Amino acid sequence: MSLSPLGRVPTIRDVAAAAGVSIGTASKALNGRGKLRPETRERVLAAARQLGFRPNTLAQGLLSGRTYTVGLITSDSFGRFSIPVMLGAEDALGAGQISVFMCDTRDDPIRERHHLQTLLARRVDGILVTGRRTEPRPSIGTELPVPVVYAMTQSTDPSDFSVIPDDFGGGQLATRHLLAMGRRRIGHITGPERFQAARLRADGMRQVLAEAGYEIAGGGPLFGEWSEEWGRQGVDILLRAEPRIDAVFCGSDQIARGVAEILRERGRRIPDDVALVGFDNWEAMAVGCRPPLTTVDMNLGEVGRVAAEHLLAAIAGNASGGGVKAIPCQLVVRESTGPVSPRAN
């Protein structure tokens, strides 16, 4: 870890000199290529070790045309959703010895273009675009010299490849669980209708209910905001529309928190009287809830990982073509759901 004995970062030239061989020989020894006397190879390696030599990646990249770097452009300011995605991506990329350039656009197209230019100038091998998915976004660029994969956001260009969570499936998952617990009058309080995620989750719920011969209680989904405050308001609206409610599926954990709080205050026990399912598995929120929240986990790490793997494949020349890949969600059962209480009704 300490500075090299030379007092500067050693080059292969220093190694060669120390080992008393030519630069080419040193290179071969270090890379295990070509035919060398074992003794020579060992001498070179020893010299390298002693000097703390690490090959200059820039020089290697210049020569090979591969930099083993990718750019990660996020429009979510490294937010709650893009972080796990990034982590998953870093996982997959790190395994491939690839370093990641972080670029935050703050949702500003100008900044995005700027970052894109910078990344291309740095000759990244590929680009990952992540976001807080709302509606599909414009493609970051067609005909780019490197492959691009979208994660947790979608490009409007069908020739781009995007990886997103399966919101529809998530809605199904939550609903099946509630049905399995014997719940029949299930309400839905969720975010703004303009969010595709909100619509898809509601659709998944509706579909599962319909198959079982039910509908969303209270007259349909209550679209509102992604906030606790809306959860508090929404549940009162719901209770008014259908007082006999025995479960609520919420579009987010925050909404569920609000719902839980008011249900308590209205004297409804969770889960005995009313079961509650959230969405996001936002640890701090879900675990802090009283009782701890059963919720849908979007497997964001997996979203990032899959996106990164696709990017790696594309870099390796195995382009996967355009399209959208939806990663299945997963139900995390905690204490806010359970079988219908014998005392209920």
What is the token pair recorded at 200? 């898809």
Q: Which stretch binds DNA (CB under 7 A): 20-28, 81-89, 135-143, 223-231?
A: 20-28
Q: Is 179 exposed, middle or buried (0-12, 13-18, 19+ CB in 10 A)?
A: middle
Neighbour tally for 172: CB within 10 Å:
22
Cis upstream peptide for 243 (omega within 30°): no
Give the list of residues 6+ apart from residue 341 with CB closer than 8 angstroms, or none. 269, 271, 272, 273
Closer residue to a second copy, CB minimum distance, 82 or 172 = 82
Q: Do the beta carbons of residue 300 and residue 85 sit within 8 Å?
A: yes
Closer residue to a second copy, CB minimum distance, 39 or 143 = 143
Q: How far is the CB of 287 from a second copy (least distance, A)?
A: 8
Closer residue to a second copy, CB minimum distance, 61 or 338 = 61
What is the binding site for a second copy (CB under 8 A)? Answer: 1-4, 8-9, 54-59, 61-62, 67, 69, 72, 77-79, 83, 86-87, 90, 97, 99-104, 113, 116-123, 141-145, 227-229, 232, 254, 257-258, 261, 284-285, 287-288, 290
Q: Rounded to an integer, what distance in angstroms lies between the CA atom of residue 217 and that of residue 279?
A: 18
* 180 touches DNA by CB under 7 A: no
Residue 227 φ then ψ, to 5°: -115, 160
Q: Rounded to an integer, what distance in angstroms lies between the CA atom of residue 297 and that of residue 78?
A: 19
Q: Do the beta carbons of residue 226 and residue 193 sit within 8 Å?
A: no
117 contact choice in DNA, a second copy, none (CB below 5 to 8 Å, kind-dependent)? a second copy
* 142 touches DNA by CB under 7 A: no
* 77 touches DNA by CB under 7 A: no
x/- contact string, 34-53, with DNA (CB under 7 A)?
Answer: xxxx-xxx-----------x
* 4 touches DNA by CB under 7 A: no
Position 57, amino acid: T
List binders of DNA among 57-76 (CB under 7 A). Answer: 59-60, 62-65
Nearest to 218 by CA among 249, 178, 191: 249
- Residue from 18, 21, 73, 198 touching DNA (CB under 7 A): that is 21
Q: Do the beta carbons of residue 249 and residue 230 sit within 8 Å?
A: no
What is the token pair recorded at 78? 């490294």
- Residue from 3, 5, 6, 23 touching DNA (CB under 7 A): that is 23
Closer residue to DNA, CB minimum distance, 35 or 240 = 35
Which residues make up the interface to DNA (CB under 7 A)?
Answer: 11-13, 20-25, 27-28, 30-31, 33-37, 39-41, 53-56, 59-60, 62-65
